[in-house]
Amino acid sequence: MLMPLPHPTQPAYQVVDPATGELVESFPYATDAEVGEILATSRSAYLDWRDRALAERTDLIRRAGARLLDRAHELAETMRLEMGKPAAEGVEEIEYCASIFDYYVDEGRGLLADEELPTRGEGRAIVQHRPIGPLLGVMPWNYPCYQVARFVVPNLVLGNTVIIKHAESVPRTARALEQVMLDAGLPHGAYLNVFATHEQVETIIADPRVQGVSLTGSERAGSVVAAAAGRHLKKCVLELGGSDPFIVLDSADVPAMADLAWQTRIHNNGQACNSNKRMIVMDEIYDEFVAALVAKAEAVEDTAHPPLASRAAAEHLAAQVDDAIAKGARLLAGGVLAQDGSARYTPAVLVGVTEGMRAYHEELFGPVAVVYRVLHDDHAVELANSSAYGLGGAVFSTDPGRARRVAERLEIGMANVNTSSGDGPELPFGGVKRSGFGRELGPGGMSEFVNKRLVYTAANPHA
């Protein structure tokens, strides 16, 4: 489970160091009066922000991206403390965020340009791209800056204002991002953070001033938010879990391919929606591939490997792996849960997973490489598509045409050929099936919460 909404028994948003289990700091939930003030401020700011020239909006947003980059090391340390991300990966995340700011600033005018449509009559039809109002973003803890940037930046460029309800485990990051926007000169209310409760999230969605909601998180959180959005006829974008296949049809260098698969799997300690959670390997190279993975796992220094984001997350992952082992799967390396109360779980290699096991159906959100043996291309496609998820996936072969043919048969939102993923702010991100709906990044990131207003002008207007 990636990101549940706040549990009613939790007293506050909390910073808990996953390396020790120590409570560092607590932040109280917002009061209902504070939520009301945030809603009013966001709406008031929208009426000003939407009418500013695009050049003015993009200038301020470019400055915000620069301020964010200036604070990369500080934010990386905050993320390390709150959810265990290694500092180098934290800096890398901020640098990627900065590229998102640059992309929408540079491409915003073209993405928002009026579109003329051919008409059957003599009139002229223009489609304009206009903002719709304040939006709510419900954000996760695993990429606490990147996930926010990909939702916020295109919408601010468009002219919407945003209210961010961040994960309850990363409150320092949440506050820092709001301060970055203010320091860059964005008007108060264009970007607002709220430490909302579960009930207050539903209140915000229900408020007529709010025009849409985007959530990145668990299926459970997604179903709750989507139900609320549906009741109140609000546009909703969901990016939920994933169990992405990593299909290796053949390889000229099996150890190198296994190394790529391993590095992809343990990036962010395996806590990525589009991580390669199912490695599907052709029979002829399966044994060599698995042996190389086991060597990688055994080489990990347990005390140096970062913790998962929380003790609860580590225990949840351990329970999934234990269930598989109890039902006949084989743990070839790792899979040890720390006994000191920390969130450490040693990177693991698991084989022999079958349909009766939780690990077959559920998302494993942590450093566990699950490897499946397949006999032919159709077998690989069938196994890949057997998941309820449909976020992304990758197919590898020395024959690019073969890899492409397999990739095009996958029921996923992002198919990658001979690369673990296609990354870039210009590329759309999103999935199908239980991985959610809608897209972020690329042109699609600016077309979800937009009024595509038709302006039709008659050729011969009546007097």
Q: Tell me which residues are annotated as active site.
A: 239, 273
Q: Are 342 and 19 in contact (CB under 8 A)?
A: yes
Residues 460, 115: Cα–Cα separation, whole Å: 21
* Nearest CA-CA partner of 137 in 83, 188, 210, 58: 210
DSSP 460: S
Residues 217, 240: Cα–Cα separation, whole Å: 5
Q: Are 391 and 413 in contact (CB under 8 A)?
A: yes
Q: Are 421 and 392 in contact (CB under 8 A)?
A: yes
Per the structure block, which two tokens stand in for 15? 């910073």
* Nearest CA-CA partner of 10 in 169, 143, 235: 169
First CA to last CA across the chain, in angstroms? Answer: 63
Cα 444 to Cα 20, 242, 415, 439, 440, distances in angstroms: 41, 20, 17, 6, 6
Residues 23, 44: Cα–Cα separation, whole Å: 37
Name the burial class of residue 327, with classes exposed (0-12), middle (13-18) and buried (19+) by CB atoms within 10 angstroms of its CB. middle
User: DSSP states of 50-67 as a string?
Assistant: TTS-HHHHHHHHHHHHHH
Residues 275, 169: Cα–Cα separation, whole Å: 21
b/e sequence 239-273, b meaning 16+ C-beta within 10 Å:
bbbbbbbbbbbbbeebeebbebbbebbbbbbbbbb
Q: Are 249 and 373 in contact (CB under 8 A)?
A: no
247 φ/ψ angles, rounded to the nearest 5 degrees: -95, 125
The residues, ordered by sequence, that sit 6+ positions from 323 with a Cβ below 8 Å of its Cβ are 357, 358, 359
**Positive or negative torsion for Cα 444, 269, 255, 287:** negative
Residues 59, 105: Cα–Cα separation, whole Å: 8
